[in-house]
Amino acid sequence: MKIIHISDLHLPTKLRVFSLLGKSLIGYLNFHFRRRKLHPIDVIKEIMIHINNSNYDILVISGDITNISHEKEFSEAKKILSPILNKKTFIIPGNHDRYSEKNIHLFEKYFGEFLGEDILDNGYSKIKILEDKIFLGLDSNSPTPIANASGKIDLEILNKSLDILKKNHSSKKIILVCHHPIWNDPRHEESIYHKMTNRDEVVQVLKEKKIHLYLHGHAHTNWVKLEDEKIPFTIINSASSTRLWDKTHETGFHLIELENENIKLKRFAYQKREKKITELPLIQF
């Protein structure tokens, strides 16, 4: 099985500043003046060409498609991404897609058909089954105050979801897709205002219930954490796929090939000078 994992697209959409207030206004100005040029539209266009020329089974997008969850951002994002939105696409939300209480429903409105099937009556827990793998999407985001991008997984939802999957699909391996990291490259530790606040408890549950892979984004630099005694499953961060890379942001995305117990990985990124996607060394721990 071949998985393409991209994340944190932060697609640039021009908005009318006077229509924005509070956190949305600050968030938009921050993106527009500080980060928009780092996410040129050419990068996502080249990534989409690369994806469409690839032989893959599933495309995972682990959140942050937009910047401030504005409706125009969602509608533009859906248009831009249309070449890669199909039956093979599995998307979860990021904190930027749940930016305000007012627009909290827009992610589902625009991308609902690519989020998988609900497995609980209440709470975000969605699956897509492919061969002997189950992709489980959870939502670690909720609207936060200004300058706070932290997240949290609801432990009841996590435990219930894993119990149901273990009971009904005991032979299948679980690949958890969630926006926030549960481990950091030591060069990129996150502050309390950026991290998943209950990550230790989450790791404990994932360890006990034996997941196969954890795919995430949110920290805009790539890494792969191989399994060890403390965390006995592989963790892959593919953020930010659409950001130009520099010394402190080794951005790009991953191709993950699963064959029985083996996980083969390749990392790709957009090269500004050549204006194309090339393979780069893995950043592996």
Does 128 interact with Fe ion (rule: CB under 5 A)?
Answer: no
> For Fe ion, which is the closer residue by CB, 95 or 198?
95
> For Fe ion, which is the closer residue by CB, 147 or 226?
147
Grouping H, G, I as helix, E, B as strand and the rest as coil, residue 253 is: strand
Question: From the list 13, 66, 95, 150, which residue makes contact with Fe ion (rule: CB under 5 A)?
Answer: 95
> For Fe ion, which is the closer residue by CB, 165 or 235?
235
E strands present in the chain: 2-6, 58-62, 89-92, 117-118, 125-130, 133-138, 173-177, 213-216, 223-225, 234-237, 253-259, 262-271, 276-280
Question: From the list 5, 15, 38, 64, which residue makes contact with Fe ion (rule: CB under 5 A)?
Answer: 64
Per-residue CA distances from 81 to 52, 76, 226, 229, 247 (Å): 12, 9, 31, 39, 28
Pairing of β 276-280 and β 253-259:
unpaired
Question: From the list 12, 27, 93, 94, which residue makes contact with Fe ion (rule: CB under 5 A)?
Answer: 94
Q: Which residue has the tokens 């954490």?
A: 225
Q: How far apart are CA 136 and CA 158, in angstroms?
A: 10
Q: How far apart are CA 188 and CA 196, in angstroms?
A: 14
Q: How far apart are CA 236 and CA 15, in angstroms?
A: 33
**Pair 251, 236: CB distance under 8 Å:** no
Does 250 interact with Fe ion (rule: CB under 5 A)?
Answer: no
Report how many residues bind Fe ion under the rule CB under 5 A. 5
Closest to 7 (Cα-Cα) out of 87, 99, 129, 91: 91
Binding mask 24-63 for Fe ion (x = CB under 5 A): ----------------------------------------
Q: Which of the stretches 27-35, 117-125, 155-163, 212-220 binds Fe ion when contact is defined by CB under 5 A?
A: 212-220
Q: Which residue has the tokens 């995972």?
A: 60
Q: Which of the stretches 11-19, 94-102, 112-120, 124-132 binds Fe ion when contact is defined by CB under 5 A?
A: 94-102
Phi, psi at residue 5, to the nearest 5°? -120, 110
> For Fe ion, which is the closer residue by CB, 100 or 169?
100
Does 139 interact with Fe ion (rule: CB under 5 A)?
Answer: no
Does 8 interact with Fe ion (rule: CB under 5 A)?
Answer: yes
> For Fe ion, which is the closer residue by CB, 98 or 128?
98
> For Fe ion, which is the closer residue by CB, 104 or 130?
104
Q: What is the nearest approach in angstroms of Fe ion to the Cβ of residue 260?
A: 33
> Would you tell me how many other CB atoms lie within 10 Å of the CB of residue 254?
24
Q: How far apart are CA 222 and CA 252, in angstroms?
A: 7
Q: What is the nearest approach in angstroms of Fe ion to the Cβ of residue 130?
A: 25
> For Fe ion, which is the closer residue by CB, 141 or 234?
141
Does 218 interact with Fe ion (rule: CB under 5 A)?
Answer: yes
Q: What is the nearest approach in angstroms of Fe ion to the Cβ of residue 235?
A: 16
By CB under 5 A, name the binding residues for Fe ion. 8, 64, 94-95, 218
